[in-house]
Structure 1
Amino acid sequence: MNALTGRLFAVSVLAGFFLASSSAFAASSSIDGIWEGSASVRGQEVPLRLQISGPATDLHAALLNGAEQSVASSAKLQDGKLLLNFNYFARSLEATVAGEQLTGTFGTTSASPKAAPRVPVTLHRASAVSNVSTGPDIHGDWEIAVSSSKGESAWQLRIDPATRDAAPATIRAVIQRIDGDTGSLYGAWDGNQYKVSHFTAAGPALYSIVPRENGTLLVSNLLATETQKVQARDLVARRPAEARKENLAAPTESTEQTRIKDPSAPFTFKFPDVTGKEVSSSDARFRDKVVIVAIGGSWCPNCHDEAPFLESLYKQFHGKGLEVVNLSFEEEDQLQNPTRLRAFIQRYGITYPVLIAGTPDQLTEKITQADHLNCWPTSFILGRDGRVREVHAGFAGPANPPAHQALEHEVTALVEKLLAEPRPVQKASF
């Protein structure tokens, strides 16, 4: 080996050493895996679980809620700073990585002064040890007596055993209201109560469920605002049979909440889509068609649950004469640049028209043909003659399997029935 060859060999060895060291550092600084911790919300600690995978150049992440995942639209790790965007809810998680701990905040990305403040989050690597206690058996169906602003007298509460994916938890609960369900709430017995919660891209939820000696449950929304506490404090849940014995009203049927003022008149709409193009019920594409007009907003979690079902109906029956149109009511800052609505459309692969109808407080001003319209979402199902045949308030999502399956079956059957009706006879013009 001559001097030149020796120097080249030495440089090669050093380069290999530094490359190996760099790779080792990258591996040791990886944040792959499950992270768990909590978010501080209104004086309460809400459990939070996060899964991160991939190298820094191709990072992926998702908030975990049992077997359910809220997948991040984008994930970035740079200089010890983690940024996860959930564009379909206009929210983000920002955290600093320090060893085995992530510390940061979660909340809206909106610059609006009306936006809710971001909440602090602290996470550490998940432990394989899970200590949970099994409490009293409260599985099954319950009814919660309420007096809500939407006119309800009762909500449904369903409690099931937690799946293996829900560690650390022993029960899964869901509250079904007229406008939709809470999503899956997981929790365990702490010796005095079940605390059930979730933390998804839509945000946190936390409830306590206290079994009582008289066979009822005391249910409290632990994250209720001051306004909500009037309704959310000390709610009592009873088995349905016991509620009937006490002459308490059952939960309102979804088809009984909203009515059409004049059922003989065609349902009409005219709003722009996300590109600014105006779409109207008088357009040729809707003529003689069965139409589902879905009222919602990309800020609404239950509207996110409804979107995949509407898209599946559209794909299944569009060729037979079904049209679907979404009338979306968005906050003022989103009207100027509907980035969240575009992300919503992309996330669910929506191919039917999505129109921007106004702001949420303009609902009854813009949709004038309905009476007692106050639920997000609400769907109007029109026959081929343009008249409303049925109105469905709210949406029972996958977190409430029996109600979700029943709703899917009912709406699908109605669509098939309306598609089988003859097309209206067009009057001759002279």
Structure 2
Amino acid sequence: MKFLLILLSVFTLFSCNKDNSEKMRHGYWLGELKVNENKTLPFTFEVMADKSLKIFNAEEVILVDDITYKNDSIFIKMPVFEGYFALKLTKEGMVGRFTNTDMALDLPFKAIYNSKERFETKEVPAVDISGNWEVAFNPDSDQSVYQAKGVFQQNGKKVTGTFRTEAGDYRYLEGVMNVDELQLSAFDGSHAFLFVATVKDSTLNGVFYSGNKWSAAFEGQRNEHFELSDANLLTTLQNEDAHFEFSFPNEEGQTISLADAQFQNKVVVVQLMGTWCPNCLDESVFFSEYFKLNSDKAIEFVALAFENAKTDSLAFEGIKRLKNRLGLDYPVLLAQSGTSDKVEAQKKLPMLKQVVSYPTTIFIDKTGKVRKIHTGFNGPATGAKYVEFKNEFRTFVEELLEE
């Protein structure tokens, strides 16, 4: 009798601790974020296991493995950026919201099971958008207009590519050409982008939707010879002889300065970035790979993070998450929390005339002199431009190392 009571107690304890929450069905899903009263941003993902899934944007695959179940709710946290989904299962799939406080995103979300089509198409494309496009966003506004270069590849109905701007690229866009309507989207936990445009021969006109109801008109024309301004000339020092310096804390509370011994008589690559910034993530991946292959040389990397997180402690959580996910071996210092405003950022680095973009890369030679400042980043979604950047980076750094 005593044995039976013990056995019953163990069984009861096991039953109480067992997770009986309903799980996501394994397989492909279509997710939809509502970015406008009449517009939804679609993306596809595959649930690999109860606590892991993959999000797809063209060639990009994002592994998400921080998934928890509680009663009838599912919480999915993005791997690097601060965003998360809070969802409930339904007969058709899932419903809930996506929230990213850093990027001020709070979007209604739903997902449909067993669907792999990002956009529904029924008609044959009437135009092929492949090639280079000269594009202007906010073309009717003198104050907010900015230039971009559209780089697209079309295979049948499917379209991939990106928009390059002087601040960086819009990363991996994927979509379709439906007769003469271009539809592109991307979701990576920070970016939530939707582009819709009408394409007529050599022109396009459309609207760019991002986040909570923000939108901007854009127009473009085919131009295989169009190029953006030189990224090495956009950010400058107050004067040619200005000395670059910084002094900011790391996640362990230690203040790190350019004057420290670890940076002396070495080439130093300083990265102005934010953990909320997808282009910065792409650049950090490249820098990390380069540094690991060249750690025996007289070179150091250091990142200065300008964070939207409201407190230093929250900002350092983001920094730690980024470093752990990417395996960064170089210091990431907190330069600013509470805002990533570039005017405020320039006040932290007054030797710069302006901070134009995140990321911005500052190359300092062994004598401590700034030799080049590169604004923005052409990431892997830009294809040939990314390869060009990597080659130029390696060549220039090797020249500095040989001096």
**TM bucket by the smaller chain?**
0.7 to 0.9
Evaluate the alpha carbon distance shift between residue 395 and residue 138 of structure 1 in structure 2; reply closer, same or farther with a 3 A threshold. same
Q: Choose the corresponding residue for 1:92, options 74, 81, 84.
A: 84
Q: Is the 8 A contact 2:135 2:218 kept in 1?
A: no
Mark the runs of 5 or more structure 2 residues left unpaired by the alignment.
5-10
- SS of 2:295's equivalent in the other structure is helix
What's the counterpart of residue 230 of structure 2?
253
Q: Is the 8 A contact 2:35 2:211 kept in 1?
A: no
Deviation, structure 1 residue 128: 6.5
What's the counterpart of residue 32 of structure 1?
26
1:104 aligns with 2:96: yes
Q: Is the 8 A contact 2:107 2:211 kept in 1?
A: no
Mark the runs of 5 or more structure 1 residues left unpaired by the alignment.
1-7, 9-14, 164-168, 244-249, 422-430
1:356 aligns with 2:344: no
What's the counterpart of residue 7 of structure 2?
none
**In structure 1, how many angstroms separate the alpha carbons of the residues matched to 2:197 and 2:363?**
37
What's the counterpart of residue 134 of structure 2?
143
1:53 aligns with 2:48: yes
What's the counterpart of residue 280 of structure 2?
303
What's the counterpart of residue 189 of structure 1?
177
**In structure 2, how many angstroms separate the alpha carbons of the residues matched to 1:32 and 1:46?**
22
What's the counterpart of residue 246 of structure 1?
none
TM-score, normalisation: structure 1: 0.80
Deviation, structure 1 residue 119: 0.9
1:217 aligns with 2:204: yes
Q: Is the 8 A contact 1:87 1:340 kept in 2?
A: no
- SS of 1:327's equivalent in the other structure is strand
**In structure 2, how many angstroms separate the alpha carbons of the residues matched to 1:329 and 1:288?**
27
- SS of 1:340's equivalent in the other structure is helix
Amino acid at match of 1:98: T
Q: Is the 8 A contact 2:162 2:169 kept in 1?
A: yes
Q: Is the 8 A contact 2:35 2:209 kept in 1?
A: no
Evaluate the alpha carbon distance shift between residue 404 and residue 129 of structure 1 in structure 2; reply closer, same or farther with a 3 A threshold. closer
Q: How does 1:75-90 map to 2 (within 5 A)?
A: 75-90=67-82
Stretches (4+) displaced over 6 A: 147-152
Q: Choose the corresponding residue for 2:219, options 206, 230, 235.
A: 235
Q: Is the 8 A contact 1:302 1:377 kept in 2?
A: yes
- SS of 2:186's equivalent in the other structure is strand
- SS of 1:252's equivalent in the other structure is coil
Amino acid at match of 1:263: E
Q: Choose the corresponding residue for 1:68, options 49, 57, 60.
A: 60
Deviation, structure 1 residue 294: 0.4
Deviation, structure 1 residue 104: 0.9
Q: How does 1:161-200 map to 2 (within 5 A)?
A: 161=154, 170-200=158-188
Q: Is the 8 A contact 2:44 2:116 kept in 1?
A: no
Which structure is higher in helix share?
1
1:378 aligns with 2:365: no
**In structure 1, how many angstroms separate the alpha carbons of the residues matched to 2:238 and 2:374?**
15
- SS of 2:128's equivalent in the other structure is coil
Deviation, structure 1 residue 254: 0.9
1:155 aligns with 2:143: no
Q: How does 1:394-413 map to 2 (within 5 A)?
A: 394-413=376-395
**In structure 1, how many angstroms separate the alpha carbons of the residues matched to 2:323 and 2:52?**
21
Evaluate the alpha carbon distance shift between residue 347 and residue 29 of structure 1 in structure 2; reply closer, same or farther with a 3 A threshold. closer
Which structure is higher in strand share?
2
Evaluate the alpha carbon distance shift between residue 407 and residue 35 of structure 1 in structure 2; reply closer, same or farther with a 3 A threshold. same
- SS of 1:84's equivalent in the other structure is strand
**In structure 1, how many angstroms separate the alpha carbons of the residues matched to 2:322 and 2:395?**
27
Larger Rg: 1
* Sequence identity percentage: 24
TM-score, normalisation: structure 2: 0.85
Deviation, structure 1 residue 127: 3.4
**In structure 2, how many angstroms separate the alpha carbons of the residues matched to 1:140 and 1:218?**
16
Deviation, structure 1 residue 349: 0.6
